[in-house]
Amino acid sequence: MTLFSFRLVPVATLALILVANVGAVDSAQAEPAIVAKARAFVGAEAALNAVKSVHFVGSLTTGDSADPTKSARATIEIFFQAPDRQRIQATSEKTIEVTALDGYEAWSRVQDAADSKKWRLSLLGANEIRRLRANTWESLAFYRGIESHGGHIEDLGTVQTEGLTCAKLAFIYDHNIVFYRYLDAATGRLVYTENEAGSTQREQGTLVVNGIRFPQSIITTTNKADGHVQTVILTFDKVIVNEAMPASLFAVPSPTAK
């Protein structure tokens, strides 16, 4: 349903990687038939079209790629607001890390959890902004409307994977921002997602809110350059749809903001 991907650098340790001007395509281009089936699996058209914001509350567990017995945990809140606002806040024992997108501006703030006077603020670059904008659309549009972000869908036909016949679609924002979705041809259920770098993402469990299916957990697996595999698990305790979100939640904070 949605796509969350993480790069483990300071949100500075965590940021959704989650577009630029890809050659725009004709918005009237035929939509792959599986898109309507995938949307219907998630929820009714009226419910999906009514979504303006989503707020996830839960926890994040990051595995140590060098030692599978070790992991780090943080509480997490993720906010998406149409059309192009996003905020992720991860709180661990040592740090409070925030990454946010406000239109065409994005920033990251890392604060010492024990001392609010110790913090650093960074403005994110164009490539990071493109990814955040793509991820915000991915999390609110339910497979439809990518053309409005300068991207397009490529139908890559059917493949056999995990014992299922799946439709494989590429959601392309730029040459280096691509999400491959494997959708069960029979039901429209998302089997898994893979990005252009080869990281895979699987959803488990279901939370139904406002008639819409949201995943209860999202497991991302990444093959690291050193040959190790890293696993990141998002687990959601609560999902709130169409909550009022103030603009200040996403705006670049002033240097004196607490």
Domains and their CATH numbers in the chain: 6-149+206-249 (2.50.20)
Please give the Cα distance from 24 to 41 (Å, whole number): 28
Residue in the block written with tokens 């509480």: 75
Span 114-134, average pLDDT: 93
Which pLDDT score is estimated for 154?
Answer: 97
- Full-model pTM: 0.85
Which pLDDT score is estimated for 256?
Answer: 60
Span 213-240, average pLDDT: 92
The pLDDT-based confidence of 70 (bands split at 50, 70, 90) is confident
Burial degree of 100 (CB within 10 A; 0-12, 13-18, 19+) = buried
Report the percentage of the chain scoring pLDDT > 90: 73
Record the tokens describing residue 191, joined without a space: 């089997």
pLDDT tens for 146-171 read 998 889 999 999 999 999 999 999 99
Task: Give the least confident one: 17-21, 44-48, 85-89, 104-108.
Answer: 17-21
Record the tokens describing residue 146, joined without a space: 């990518």
Which pLDDT score is estimated for 7?
Answer: 36
pLDDT tens for 197-209 read 889 999 999 999 9
- 2-5 contact pairs (CB < 8 A, 24+): 2/138, 2/139, 2/214, 2/215, 2/218, 3/135, 3/138, 3/139, 3/179, 3/193, 3/201, 4/78, 4/135, 4/139, 4/201, 4/218, 4/220, 4/234, 5/135, 5/195, 5/199, 5/201, 5/220
Fill in the amino acid letter for 74.
A
pLDDT at 27 over 50: no
